[in-house]
Structure formats: structure tokens, C-alpha cells
A = this chain, B = another copy of it.
Amino acid sequence: MVSIIFVDESFRSGRVCWIKDIVVAVTAENMEAMRSIIQRYRHKRISLAEAGATRHRSIFNGLKALAEDQPDVVIIHDAVRPFVEEDILLRVVTAAKEHGAAGAIRPLVSTVISPSADGCLEHSLDRAKHRASEMPQAFLFDVIYKAYQQCSDYDFEFGTECLQLALKYSHTKAKLVEGPPDLWKVTYKRDLLAARSVIKEKISQEICVVMNTKDEESAGHLLKEVLKKELNCVNVTSTVLDHTGGNVQKFPTDQCYSFICVNVVSSEFQETQKFLSTLEESGLPLLYPVVVVLVHCCDLTLAPLASKMESLMWIRSLAEDMKKRNVLLSGLLLNYSKDEQKLQESFQQGASIIAALVKERSSALAGQLLLA
């Protein structure tokens, strides 16, 4: 039985099924906010412990919360390292079972030096002989709980390293496990910017093209192929939906946050609304904004552009409503020309526009009718 303690007020390992309990250390003033987050995002298996004034006091409170259940192994992790993957969690747990304690390490990015009292260089450490100690760390529950029970006030106030406590008080030499770069701490403003980009990239890894025909020559299939080329690291799937009121249940909503509906026609307001309702009911837009692009194909040499745009104005009002529900809806008018070269250019431009809408997920641009 493995439990995990998060030092700080966020967590993301609900998706690892072999972790039984998740304890989050939260300061008293944030306890209510945390409870509402757990409820709103439907997190499971979580209990809260009160955070202490220092890192070690928070961890000790987390351990006490688990003491009655006595898990075999406990993982300690920082909430400021939100991109931890299951693989490294498994590796530290396996090493902890064998050695009693284990922690992730990384090579040093900068040389470490020791300054003299007057702020000058005393000596510099050999970079090859040292490592940065990162999180997660895992311990046999007894090893780390006993160590914390023996901690001095000095340890509680000034200590930073759990592995050191296991060594000092439980005489357990931790195994060091080389971790991936994803374990970085979100510390400075630049880290927040990076974290936002990493998440945006992650949720844009899959695009579903929704079509109303299986015909391999259709606009939907053509667009899917161009999208695959334009976004070569993105998984472009497709599904056929009966737009005229059939089964809208069968689209893949698990890790897919972007839907391109091809061949939406002017009269399909109600069908689109039904599709969007199903999407909303799936709970998908709860955590991240979902991008939906309604693509209307027509030969612009036959129909005047202005009237085409006018007939699609219902997308604008629908989009305004959907924005409140975290769904970013846009319209895309694609010139389905008889001229082969013009057709290719138009699909190419359309794919670039879709890529930008998917990657940037900008709510300010929802509700626009774009033209390719």
C-alpha cells in the first residue's frame, strides 16, 4: 500500500491508480479554498493535513495523518513539481522497498561554490561529483516516521533534506535514482510561463476531426490529411457523426481537447448545439478549455462571401454562450474551389489557422468567423 504526501497546495497524481491515499498539506487559511477545489474538479482519495511553519513540519503532519493506516511505503512530493510522471514514482517506490529510502536526483546545471564570510569565493565544488536532490522521494513508512519523531527543533526549522533525516535518525542510506528533466520546480515567473506552455502543448497533442460522411474523397478527409502534415507531432484522429440528429455519443473525449467539425452547414444550428451539449456533459471542459472549430466548405466563386458569412452568424452568438462553459467555439469558412491549386492553398491556410486556434486556446478569439 503506497500513500503520497504533497507538501503544498496542489497535486496531480490522482491518475496513478496504485497510490491509495493522497495527503495534501495546506495552511489553515487555504483549507476552505482547497476543499472547494477538490469538490469542483472531482478529485478522489484526498485527505488534508494542516501545513506547518516549515517544510519538515508540514511533512511530519502529513505522516501523522497516515499513521493510523500505516502504509508500507510513502512518497513525499512537492506540489511545485506538477509534471512528475508515473515512471519515476514507480522507480523511487521500488528502490525504497529495497533500500528503505530513495530519492530522485539530477545533474547540476550550475557549478556550486562556497562563499567566505566577506562574500568572496572560498572554493568551488567539482560539478561531476555532486548532484541536485529533487523530488519525489519514497520511504518505508517506519523509516521516515521514526526519523521525524526524533527530529530536533533545529532540523524542523532549518533542514531541507528528508533523505538526510532518514540517514541521521533511522541509519538508512537512501538509494539515488536519476530522474527526468520534468521534475523541475515551478519557482520563478519564467517557470510559470514555461508551465503554461507545457500544459498547452500537452492538451493540444490530440485533435479529433468530426465528419458527417465516411467518403474518403470528402473535405473532412482532405483536411485531416493536411492537418496531419501541418502538425506532425499531433495525433489527428477522426470520427463520423450523423449531424442530422443521430448518435453524438461516440466521439473520443478522454484526452482530446480539440474538435474540428467539418461540413457544418448554415442550417445546422440545432445539431451543433446538441454536439456541444454532449461535449459539456462529458465533463471535459472542467479542467481545460476545449477548442471547437466549425468548418464550412463552399466554392466562393459560386456564392458571394458576404452572404455566406451572414448565414453563419449564429456561430457568434452560440460561441458567446459556450465561452462561459469553457468551450472556445470558432467558425472557419474554407474556399472549396474547383481550381486544384487554390483548393490546396485554402486547405493549407485552414490547417494553419486551426493549428493556431488549438495551440493558443485564446478565449478572446472565440466567436470569430475566419476565412481560408
Q: Could you tell me which A residues sit within 8 Å of B by CB distance?
A: 99, 103, 105-106, 108-116, 119-121, 123-125, 127-134, 158, 160-161, 163-164, 167, 173-176, 181, 184-185, 187-191, 193-198, 201, 304-307, 309-310, 313, 316, 349, 352-353, 355-356, 360, 362, 364-365, 368-371
Contact = CB atoms under 8 A, between A and B. Distances in A.
Q: Which 8 pairs of residues, A with B, have the shortest CB-CB distance?
A: A306-B306, A194-B194, A193-B197, A356-B364, A352-B364, A110-B132, A190-B194, A121-B174
A76 B359 CA distance: 38
Contacts of A370: 365, 368
Contacts of A362: 356, 360
A175 B306 contact: no
Nearest to A129: B114
A353 B195 CA distance: 24
A99 B120 CA distance: 9
B99 A112 contact: no
Nearest to A132: B110
Q: Main SS of the interface on chain A?
A: mixed
A205 to B, nearest CB: 14
B112 A112 contact: yes
A131 B196 CA distance: 28
A365 B369 CA distance: 12
Nearest to A127: B160
B119 A133 contact: no
16 contacts: A106-B110, A111-B132, A111-B160, A112-B132, A113-B163, A113-B176, A115-B131, A121-B163, A127-B160, A190-B197, A193-B201, A194-B194, A305-B310, A356-B360, A356-B365, A360-B362
